[in-house]
Amino acid sequence: MQSSITLKAYCKINLCLSVIRRLKTGYHEIESVMQQINLYDTIKIKKLKSSEFSASENSGSPENRRIFLDENKIVIRSDSDEIPLNEKNICYKAAALLKKQFKIKQGIEIYIKKRIPVTAGLAGGSTDAAATMIGMNNLFNLRLSKESLAKISEKIGMDVAFCIIGRTCLVTKRGEELKQIKSPKKLHILIINPGFEISTKEAYQSLDLTRINKNNRTKHIIEAIEHKNVLKIASNLQNDFEYNALKRYPILQQIKKDLIKNRALNAVMSGSGPTIFGIFPNKVALTTAYLILKYKYKFVCPTTSV
């Protein structure tokens, strides 16, 4: 029987993101076209044998013993010091949810190799949780469809469902309604993160509700994808969170200018930010821009759509 599994957890960008309205519940209705890109974390899930668990209880530092004793046999490890390694970690929450719902008694260790910037508008945590759920589905032979996993995942975060379904989706309501659509012709994308965080909560709280949903480009993006028109996709990039973020953080406007100056067809912020991405006409233009900008900003990554 399979004892471990390793998966790639791909992040996402928003080709367009409109906030339709604020709901009475305090949440917001959105409409977005989300696209997975070839930038990913690696998630390795390993079943813990009883002998391995016992040995781990009695070895190592008090901190390590605490992890094994207090976390109901869900062990989180990572090469990153930017994410929690306890029950606050979204992978822990995903694993605990499946363990409880499907009465999984065996302990697991989840190792997270981070490449995706944290709290960056790229769904880095959500995609790790999605990979955890997909991995446990396979590892414990739960036989759940992607749609069933996505429905369960709504309890831990709205972007998790998209990361389970993957590729290109029209996302509506609070983010829980997903419709997979045709994926675009390969997009050549440069991701730039300035090195600070914008929390989703902060982004929603600072929204100017008088400016939202004034420039909804969803239909135009979908039409451009259907016609494989990269130039039209780029010209219709849009994000309702961008106005306030660019006003508050001038460096984001500079990143956009640098991308367009270096032959990006257009550039926009992803999600609640602060990551900015540009779409380029071809691989040569993308590589050239990367070589020029890679020393200017903390995180610069050339990639493509999945």
The CATH number given to whatever domain includes residue 254 is: 3.30.70.890
44, part of any domain: no
Is 12 assigned a catalytic role? yes
How buried is 22 (Cβ within 10 angstroms: 0-12 exposed, 13-18 middle, 19+ buried)? Answer: middle
What is the domain range of residue 212? 188-304
218 three-class SS: helix
Is 214 assigned a catalytic role? no
Residue 93 has pLDDT above 90, yes or no: yes
110, part of any domain: no
46 three-class SS: strand
Max Cα distance, the chain (Å): 61
Reported as a single tens digit per residue, the pLDDT across 169-216 is 999 998 889 999 999 999 999 999 999 999 998 899 889 888 899 999
Could you give the CA distance from residue 290 to residue 189 in angstroms, rounded to a whole number? 10
* pLDDT band at 51; cut points 50, 70, 90: low
Reported as a single tens digit per residue, the pLDDT across 8-45 is 999 999 999 999 999 888 889 999 999 999 999 999 99
Given phi > 0 = left and psi -120 to 50 = alpha, else beta, which region is 70?
alpha
266, part of any domain: yes
39, part of any domain: no
Reported as a single tens digit per residue, the pLDDT across 256-295 is 999 999 999 999 999 999 999 999 999 999 999 999 999 9
* pLDDT band at 57; cut points 50, 70, 90: very low
75, part of any domain: no
73, part of any domain: no
- Looking up tokens 């660019």 gives 246
Confidence (pLDDT) at 55: 45
Confidence (pLDDT) at 24: 86
Number of domains in the chain: 1
Catalytic position from the list 41, 159, 240, 258 = 159
**What stretch of H or E contains 89?**
none
Confidence (pLDDT) at 69: 37
Mean pLDDT value across residues 76-84: 97
* pLDDT band at 71; cut points 50, 70, 90: very low
Closest Cα partner for 203 from 151, 275, 260, 109? 275
Mean pLDDT value across residues 294-301: 97
Confidence (pLDDT) at 293: 98
How buried is 120 (Cβ within 10 angstroms: 0-12 exposed, 13-18 middle, 19+ buried)? Answer: buried
Summary mean pLDDT of the chain: 92
Residue 72 has pLDDT above 70, yes or no: no
